[in-house]
Amino acid sequence: MGMIRQPGSSIKSSERAIQVRGCPRVILGGCMSVASRAKRVTTNTLHEMKVNGEKIAMLTAYDFSLARLVDATGIDVILVGDSASNVMAGHETTVPITLDQMIYHAQSVVRAVQRALVVVDMPFGTYQSDSNNALKSAIRIMKETGGHAVKLEGGGEVLSSVRKIIDAGIPVMGHLGLTPQSIYKFGTYSVRAKEEEEAERLLNDAKMLEEAGCFSIVFEKIPARLAARVSSSLSIPTIGIGAGADCDGQVLVLHDMLGITQEFSPRFLRRYADLEETIDSAIRGYIGDVRSGSFPSEEESY
């Protein structure tokens, strides 16, 4: 199955799209957008996009082949997520993936990327309790992968690690709301910050992360109204996943939105393809051709 065209995805009459190197670029009000001007997306590009009211598109990738395809579309940010623990390694949670494994995935992605900002998740255990260990881990990620930034989960409890990493010159993306590395602490993947006390704590954490120097914050599975409130109070861009439309950008796991993984179907997920069915059909066709003797044909033989 090909890509599913979603309602409202056509270009408005006030905008015109031009094709550059196979990627649609939008000119708004006669001026080329910040995203389309960027030959290489940086943290400053994302800040300019927020100021300009342009939405930021972010997806995960974990290997060279898919990262190359994602980057070629004009995506703004590629996250080498610790969700590789789930979709690549088959673990139930993100907790088991190691720093060495994250570095391997990030190296593969960075080799493929020419335009997008590459952000690498710091895995569980590399920053939570020791800011010195956090800095050493972040330095390893930057030096060994060539990535452009790291991402950490948490607010005030990891602030010392965030500050130390930023003070060393490494860009940091924050992550608040549902923090999957803390799943055993909370015991559920349900929506976070529904109650006033937790919502205020999230707002305060977001402001602390901004003041510490984070260039962006991911909000995962929090009420849309809260995400809108916090986003409007920050000068740095916010990226939502299950946090409504008023964040400055959105992120999804690539394997989920392409329909490669079907067992995970949260409310916030929109599938743009059904590659599980496509792949299944292709492989069954191959098996049938091999068994019937029709593959390889004379033209496919030397």
Q: Which residues are catalytic?
A: 220
Cα torsion 262, 267, 269, 271: sign: positive
Query: Are 188 and 165 spatial neighbours (Cβ–Cβ below 8 Å)?
Result: no
Could you give the angle at which helices 224-233 and 196-212 cross, rounded to 10 degrees? 30
The SS3 of residue 177 is strand
Whether the bond between 123 and the residue before it is cis, its omega within 30 degrees of 0, is: no
Please report how many Cα atoms fall inside a 13 Å half-sphere around the Cα of residue 84, on the Cβ side. 25
| Residue 182 neighbours by CB distance under 10 Å | 16
Q: Got the DSSP string for 14-31?
A: TEEEEEETTEEEEEETTE
CB-based burial of residue 23 (10 Å sphere; 0-12 exposed, 13-18 middle, 19+ buried)? middle
Q: Got the DSSP string for 69-128?
A: HHHHTT-SEEEE-TTHHHHTT--SSSTT--HHHHHHHHHHHHHH-SSSEEEEEPPTTSSS
Distance between CA atoms of 126 and 132, rounded to whole angstroms? 10
Query: Are 241 and 218 spatial neighbours (Cβ–Cβ below 8 Å)?
Result: yes
The vertex-218 CA angle with 249 and 269, nearest 5°, equals: 65
